[in-house]
Amino acid sequence: MNKYSLIIICLVITLISSCAPKQEKTIAIGVMLTLPEDIYDQSVQLNQAILEKHSDNITLDDHHIPHITLLQCYIKESDLSKIEQALTGLYKTIENDILWADELQYAKDKNESFASIGIKRSRALMALHEQTITLLEPYITPDGSQESYIQNSDGTPIDDFTLAYVPKFVSDHSYEHYNPHISLGVAKVPLLDSLAQHNFKATKFQAAAIGVYQLGAFGTAQKRIWESE
């Protein structure tokens, strides 16, 4: 084979490669209400109290922000600008409404339980949850993977719970099944009993903003993609 034949073969391979369809990246996102300082700080403090006794847990901080999920799903990264446009102005429908963090939720009949701050299902919050799904439904895709998430810093894979939960959020955890809450972590029930009695404070508040975040393990909000003005 002479050098000219080799050049032609290389050019053909390059042309074929450039024309091949590129794999679209799918990412796992959460559309969520972010929190004002008082309920944000209380969420972090309760999470820290849990971490002191149960270190193998989610951590709430500026890189894993406490929040109220409206929707979790997989979307094509190329649709992000359309999603941001669809959500623009939605915050105005909730910005003046009072939300009510009314209880520390956990399974009191178990030895150990996932704990969260329960948020009352007000008419305004339910309407916002449903409208968010309606606006983003054209962009939701059923398929995601480990690579759809912000990866764990220790190199461990994204947990099976998250991989199963996110694609079924609309079908299994929305509408009449929607449970608005602020996740805190897993702890022994005696500790949660103590936190409910001595540390948790029922709080009324107004949402700070609507945000879109790329998710990490256990549905944590890790990378801010967009936030309402």
- 159 is written with which tokens? 């947990």
- In a 13 Å sphere around the CA of 57, the CA atoms on its Cβ side amount to 25
Instruction: Give me the amino acid identity at 157.
Output: P
Mapped onto helix, strand or coil, the DSSP state of residue 229 is coil
Mapped onto helix, strand or coil, the DSSP state of residue 110 is coil
Note the pLDDT of residue 229: 79
- 100 is written with which tokens? 């009510």
Cα(51)–Cα(55) distance, rounded to whole angstroms? Answer: 5
Residue spans of the domains in the chain: they are 28-227
pLDDT surpassing 50 at residue 127? yes
pLDDT surpassing 60 at residue 20? no
Note the pLDDT of residue 12: 43
pTM here? 0.89
How do 209-215 and 26-34 pair as beta strands? Answer: antiparallel
Alpha helices in 2-75 (DSSP H): 3-19, 37-53
Q: Convert the pLDDT of each residue in 2-15 to its tens digit.
A: 555 544 544 444 44
Classify domain 28-227 by CATH number: 3.90.1140.10
> What's the chain's average pLDDT?
92
pLDDT surpassing 70 at residue 113? yes
Q: Which residue in the block uniquely carries the two structure tokens 């059923």?
A: 142
Helices 123-136 & 80-87 angle (0-180, nearest 10): 150
pLDDT surpassing 70 at residue 218? yes
Note the pLDDT of residue 13: 45
Cα(144)–Cα(132) distance, rounded to whole angstroms? Answer: 20
Cα(132)–Cα(123) distance, rounded to whole angstroms? Answer: 14
pLDDT surpassing 80 at residue 101? yes
What b/e string do you get for 60-97 counting C-beta neighbours within 10 Å, with b at 16 or more?
Answer: beeebbbbbbbbbbbbeeebbeebeebbeebbeebeee
Cα torsion angle, 69, 70, 73, 79, sign? negative
